[in-house]
């Protein structure tokens, strides 16, 4: 089959309805900057509660990450649950977690076939471990189900491998209430619903400056001015000029994904699981779409690059995890920039009276942006104060250009470390299996000799002992040294 890497740029989607540029001055209750998942959910909820809302989008609806994601909806945040408890204590962590579940419920309620035709909701997500970490898994399962009232199942290695034909994965946590949707349909569905609720959406309308000092705030675009009682900044990493200091609290991470050509029945023979799969290191995330295609996200950069470059990278990654599939033909490659905060939690709340922020959702933005939209709309219109639960997670400068370099190196190190830890876990597993065979042979030899004493195994050529993989070390300059075979691919971002 020929290889084609299409959709190389994040161009406008064919099904995106035309929305005009703002060319006249306007007075509204709420001005939302950015028509991604966060901005559109705020707009929809605020319009439903009766506010007059204008959404100003510099490019077009879903232009960035929101229109180029995998559509997996899970509870939680980018920050691991253990770290969340450590940071705010069990009680607040439980409340924050419950809010993240509400976000997932919000998406489920909105993403119906009637409201968003073709949204294709499917159930269940599996988080798999790349190392043999049964103990950790049991404690996480307990935390999730007992303390955080989340439906989860622990899957043993055999079950995981029965569903996913690879020796790369060990145990798994199955979330039966997680689900996936068509991500592009969802963002356009949100825009349609917001418009129906009365929000006005203006594309090709970048906000170049804001003055948030007075009761009526001023917003300037190249072709018009707005006045609003509230401004919601939902521009993510591209916010730029209106509040550059806010943009600088986010580390931009471009994440790329590819969709394969139809792979036929062989895909189902290798991957029986129908939901989303994500590894516990946050590196690979994939699911089957359209019955026999794989959609797979993995490569990341801290600078903007053309998604097309990453088709072969994803191709190699799939072949590494599922060698049976070989070199799969890729039909589509896409990507977007996610905003990563220093603490791993989203930025949700009021910066000063009437100036709100909803950004920094990282790699898990569907449930969290939905929750943020609802929380902010209700805070503005009902005076709710739940956003204050996010106050411990302050706006911390992400380090500018140096932060990006550091972020890149940390990402490389994390991937190298994960590859090495995975290889070590698989080596240990192999060694254990070989030890069992050796013990069984010894027992059999003793039985035949009729003695209870251990006997030396029969003489013969000694089997070659496989060597464990070398661990990841840090070089003097801080760059990671990784096991040789993986290192080439890590350097080109493919692992
Ligand atoms: C490949 C990939 C896969 C992903 N998969 C998943 C997944 O399966 N599940 C999940 O939960 N999350 C996933 N994510 C993460 C999720 O997509 C993001 O967290 C989420 O989309 C962020 O939404 P947002 O509204 O904050 O930002 P954005 O999508 O970046 O939207 C912000 C918008 O604001 C506009 N803007 C910025 N500045 C201005 C300005 N000054 N004036 C006017 N407009 C402005 C931008 O043009 C942009 O359209 C994935 C991300 C990627 C890249």
Calculate mean pLDDT across residues 38-52.
98
Calculate mean pLDDT across residues 206-218.
97
CATH architecture for segment(s) 122-176+258-334: 2-Layer Sandwich (3.30)
58 phi, psi to nearest 5 deg = -65, -35
Calculate mean pLDDT across residues 210-230.
97
pLDDT band at 18 (very low <50, low <70, confident <90, very high): low
CB-based contacts of 321-328 (< 8 A; 24+ apart in sequence): 321/166, 321/168, 321/284, 322/165, 322/166, 322/270, 322/271, 324/165, 324/266, 324/269, 324/270, 325/263, 325/266, 325/267, 325/270, 325/294, 328/260, 328/261, 328/263, 328/294
3-class DSSP assignment, residue 490: helix
pLDDT of amino acid 406 = 66
Q: Pick from 380, 59, 97: which is nearest to 236 by CA? A: 59
pLDDT of amino acid 443 = 79
54: left (phi over 0), alpha (psi -120 to 50) or beta: beta
pLDDT of amino acid 488 = 32
Residue 376 confidence (pLDDT) above 60:
yes
Instruction: Identify the burial level of 338 via C-beta atoms within 10 angstroms of its C-beta, where 0-12 means exposed, 13-18 middle and 19 or more buried.
Output: buried
Residue among 33, 36, 122 whose CB has most ligand 1 atoms within 8 A, to mutate: 36
pLDDT band at 484 (very low <50, low <70, confident <90, very high): very low
Cα(70) to ligand 1 centroid in Å equals: 12
For 105-121, give one letter per residue: b (16+ CB within 10 A) or e: ebbbebbeeeebeebeb
Spatial separation of the C-alpha atoms in residues 102 and 62, rounded to whole Å: 22
Calculate mean pLDDT across residues 285-301.
97
> Could you report the per-residue pLDDT of 170-196, keeping only the tens digit for each?
999 999 999 999 999 999 999 999 999
Q: Which atom of ligand 1 is nearest to the CA of 256?
A: 1
Calculate mean pLDDT across residues 266-295.
96
Calculate mean pLDDT across residues 292-306.
96
103 lines ligand 1 (CB under 6 A): no
Calculate mean pLDDT across residues 199-213.
97
Calculate mean pLDDT across residues 379-389.
97
Residue 405 confidence (pLDDT) above 80:
no
Q: What does 76-112 look like in DSSP terms, one character per residue?
A: S-SS-HHHHHHHH-HHHHHHHHHHHHHHHHHHHHH--
pLDDT of amino acid 413 = 67
Cα(218) to ligand 1 centroid in Å equals: 25
Residue 6 confidence (pLDDT) above 70:
no
Cα separation values, 179 from 156, 294, 490, Å:
21, 16, 31
pLDDT of amino acid 409 = 65
Cα(234) to ligand 1 centroid in Å equals: 9
Calculate mean pLDDT across residues 246-272.
96
pLDDT of amino acid 455 = 45
369 lines ligand 1 (CB under 6 A): yes
Q: Which atom of ligand 1 is nearest to the CA of 72?
A: 8
Residue 450 confidence (pLDDT) above 90:
no
Lowest mean per-residue pLDDT among 138-147, 416-425, 473-482:
473-482
pLDDT of amino acid 434 = 74
Residue 379 confidence (pLDDT) above 80:
yes
pLDDT of amino acid 438 = 74
Calculate mean pLDDT across residues 345-373.
97
Calculate mean pLDDT across residues 84-89.
96
Name the residue at shortest CA distance from atom 10 of ligand 1.
364
Residue 134 confidence (pLDDT) above 90:
no
Calculate mean pLDDT across residues 404-432.
71
Residue 297 confidence (pLDDT) above 50:
yes
Residue 30 and residue 229 in contact, taking contact as beta carbons nearer than 8 Å = yes
**More confident site: 436 or 390:** 390
Calculate mean pLDDT across residues 279-304.
95
Average pLDDT for the chain: 86
pLDDT of amino acid 33 = 98
Spatial separation of the C-alpha atoms in residues 224 and 245, rounded to whole Å: 24
255 lines ligand 1 (CB under 6 A): yes
Residue 267 confidence (pLDDT) above 80:
yes
366 lines ligand 1 (CB under 6 A): yes
Residue 152 and residue 173 in contact, taking contact as beta carbons nearer than 8 Å = yes
> Could you report the per-residue pLDDT of 317-330, keeping only the tens digit for each?
999 999 999 999 99
Residue 340 and residue 288 in contact, taking contact as beta carbons nearer than 8 Å = no
pLDDT of amino acid 477 = 32
Instruction: Output the CATH code of domain 1-120+181-250+341-398.
Output: 3.50.50.60
Q: Using DSSP bridges, classify how beta strands 276-279 and 285-289 pair: parallel, antiparallel or unpaired.
A: antiparallel
**Residue listed under structure tokens 């709420």:** 30
Name the residue at shortest CA distance from atom 18 of ligand 1.
365
Residue among 41, 212, 235, 347 whose CB has most ligand 1 atoms within 8 A, to mutate: 235
pLDDT of amino acid 474 = 30
Residue 160 confidence (pLDDT) above 80:
yes
Residue 12 confidence (pLDDT) above 70:
no
Residue 203 and residue 20 in contact, taking contact as beta carbons nearer than 8 Å = yes
Lookup: tokens for 50? 């009766």
Helix residue ranges per DSSP H, 111-225: 134-142, 157-163, 183-197
């Amino acid at each position: 089959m020929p290889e084609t890497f299409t959709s190389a740029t994040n161009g406008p989607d064919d099904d995106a309805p035309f929305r005009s540029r703002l060319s006249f001055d306007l007075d509204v209750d709420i001005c939302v900057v950015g028509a991604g998942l966060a901005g559109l959910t705020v707009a929809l909820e605020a319009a439903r509660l009766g506010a007059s809302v204008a959404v100003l989008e510099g490019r077009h609806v879903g232009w960035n990450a929101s229109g180029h994601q995998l559509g997996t909806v899970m509870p939680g945040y980018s920050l691991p649950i253990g770290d969340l408890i450590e940071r705010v204590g069990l009680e607040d962590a439980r409340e924050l977690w419950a809010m993240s579940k509400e976000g997932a419920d919000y998406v489920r309620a909105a993403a119906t076939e009637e409201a968003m035709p073709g949204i294709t909701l499917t159930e269940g997500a599996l988080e798999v471990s790349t190392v043999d970490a049964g103990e950790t898994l049991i404690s996480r399962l307990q935390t999730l189900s007992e303390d955080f009232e989340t439906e989860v199942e622990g899957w043993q290695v055999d079950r995981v491998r029965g569903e996913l034909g690879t020796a790369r994965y060990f145990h798994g946590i199955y979330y039966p209430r997680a689900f996936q949707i068509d991500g592009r349909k969802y963002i356009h569905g949100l825009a349609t619903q917001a418009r129906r609720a009365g929000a006005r959406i203006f594309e090709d309308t970048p906000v170049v400056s804001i003055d948030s000092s007075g009761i009526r705030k001023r917003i300037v675009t190249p072709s018009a001015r707005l006045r609003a009682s509230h401004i919601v900044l939902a521009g993510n990493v591209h916010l730029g000029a209106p509040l550059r200091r806010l943009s600088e609290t986010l580390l931009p991470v471009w994440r790329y994904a590819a969709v394969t050509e139809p792979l036929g029945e062989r895909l189902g023979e290798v991957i029986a699981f129908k939901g989303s799969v994500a590894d516990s290191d946050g590196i690979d995330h994939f699911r089957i779409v359209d019955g026999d295609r794989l959609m797979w996200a993995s490569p990341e950069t801290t600078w903007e690059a053309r998604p097309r470059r990453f088709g072969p990278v994803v191709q190699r990654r799939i072949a590494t995890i599922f060698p049976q599939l070989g070199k799969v033909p890729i039909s589509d490659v896409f990507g977007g920039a996610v905003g990563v905060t220093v603490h791993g939690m989203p930025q949700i709340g009021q910066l000063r009276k009437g100036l709100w922020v909803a950004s920094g959702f990282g790699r898990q933005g569907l449930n969290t942006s939905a929750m943020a939209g609802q929380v902010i709309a209700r805070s503005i219109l009902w005076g709710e104060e739940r956003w204050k639960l996010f106050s411990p997670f302050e706006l911390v400068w992400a380090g500018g250009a140096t932060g990006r370099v550091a972020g890149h190196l940390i990402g490389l190190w994390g991937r190298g470390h994960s590859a090495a830890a995975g290889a070590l876990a698989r080596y240990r597993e192999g060694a254990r299996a070989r030890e069992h065979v050796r013990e069984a042979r010894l027992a059999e030899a003793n039985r035949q000799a009729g003695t209870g004493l251990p006997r030396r195994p029969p003489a013969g050529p000694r089997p070659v002992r496989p060597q464990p993989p070398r661990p990841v070390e840090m070089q003097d300059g801080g760059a990671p040294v990784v096991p040789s075979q993986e290192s080439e691919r890590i350097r080109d971002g493919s692992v």
